[in-house]
Amino acid sequence: MSTTSPLAARAGAVVAEGGTVAAHHGDPLREQRLLAEGAGLVDRSDRDVLAIPGPDRLSWLHSLTSQHLERLADGTGTQALVLSPQGHVEHHLVLAELGGTTWADVEPGTGAALATFLQRMVFMLRVEPALVTGDWAMLTLVGPRGSDVLAAAGLPAPEAPYAVAALPGGGWVRRMPALGDGVPAVDLLVPRAELAARADALAAAGAGTAGLDAYEALRVEARRPRLGADTDHRTIPNELEWLDSAVHLQKGCYRGQETVARVHNLGRPPRRLVLLHLDGVSEDLPAAGAPVLRGEREVGRAGTVVRHHELGVVALALVKQSVGAGDELTVGGSRAVIDPDDAPAALDDTRAAARDRVRAVRSATIGR
């Protein structure tokens, strides 16, 4: 959606170059604290939205994505991935099932390609995928007081993760995994024509205003990746937390499954997502995609880089498994170190044994 949000045209809103929603409203660090300690409304109407009605929708989506969707219950949601035949991540979908329609919100600018792919895969099935970004828009309410705001506005406040409830006048509200250090969050899908009015109603109920930069800072703290920002063309689900949140390891065949299963069963993936702490000396933050260096050797790729109100300058990065938590790294000229909580995970005995056997075969050390 390339049209600037009406909320971004309001006094005090600052829009990043090329953006369509407010990056901040004058004080990004204060806005982060609002989300972490109170309740703040973030305009995320730049996200693309697809609606998928039809009686065959769940079994059809089940066959095309990484997630088990055949029995996705009404009033619930989840995450799913569309993979390439080689297992690389092409699309990340956040789903909501409600009233006979499966809704998918995806990264800005990716909806048209996903809709084209889905429409090519319909064949004779009773399913009608459509890109509806022009009609629907996303708001996100973040903070420990978010449920109080919803109650004051007369809106439902789902409690269980990914629970979905209908909103009066159209749309829905969906409970999302926590951001930051356990900060509650809900997404609200509202008619785009009513975006400003719906935001005003939540503000009247006690929600403050925060920009996308504040949301991104808490997302990075929670180690939640974004497609495109924190991934590249080589990314597989096993390198990210999506293996837990968007992949069902026991479901049947889908495109790219062989790679996911092989890497999961034989050992660690080639890279892992970590939180980097940067020295923050430079006023300019490294750009997404900047190389992570150990000495002069490239050992990873930086993704989203933010200035956090408590942690300082931090970034998500995909780094090689050989990179240790104590290694001295640099990103864009800044010194960096991996958060201790993101030290390489130990292999369990079964996977380690399987991996040793594979290495043995490749080096011809197993007797014939």
**Nearest of 5, 10, 65, 52 to residue 245 by alpha carbon:** 65
Q: Domains of the chain by range and CATH?
A: 6-47+134-221 (3.30.1360.120), 48-131 (3.30.70.1400), 267-342 (2.40.30.110)
Q: Record the tokens describing residue 66, joined without a space.
A: 């990484």
Distance CA 279, CA 53 (A): 49
**Nearest of 108, 112, 78 to residue 93 by alpha carbon:** 78
Main-chain phi, psi angles of 278, to 5 degrees: -100, 155
With a CB cutoff of 8 Å and minimum separation 6, the contacts of 124 are none
Query: What single-letter DSSP state applies at residue 242?
Result: H
Please list the pLDDT of the chain residue by residue as tens digits (368 residues).
578 999 999 999 999 999 999 999 999 999 999 999 999 999 999 999 999 999 999 999 999 999 999 999 999 999 999 999 999 999 999 999 999 999 999 999 999 999 999 999 999 999 999 999 999 999 999 999 999 999 999 999 999 999 999 999 999 999 999 999 999 999 999 999 999 999 999 999 999 999 999 999 999 999 999 999 999 999 999 999 999 999 999 988 899 999 999 999 987 899 999 999 999 777 889 999 999 999 999 999 999 999 999 999 999 999 999 999 889 999 998 999 999 998 876 655 554 554 453 343 234 333 33
The C-alpha angle with vertex 334 and arms to 331 and 338, in degrees rounded to 5, equals 65
Query: What single-letter DSSP state applies at residue 25?
Result: S
Q: Beta-carbon neighbour count of residue 140 at 10 Å?
A: 23
Q: What is the CA radius of gyration of the chain?
A: 21
Main-chain phi, psi angles of 238, to 5 degrees: -65, -20
Is residue 267 within 8 Å of 347, Cβ to Cβ?
yes
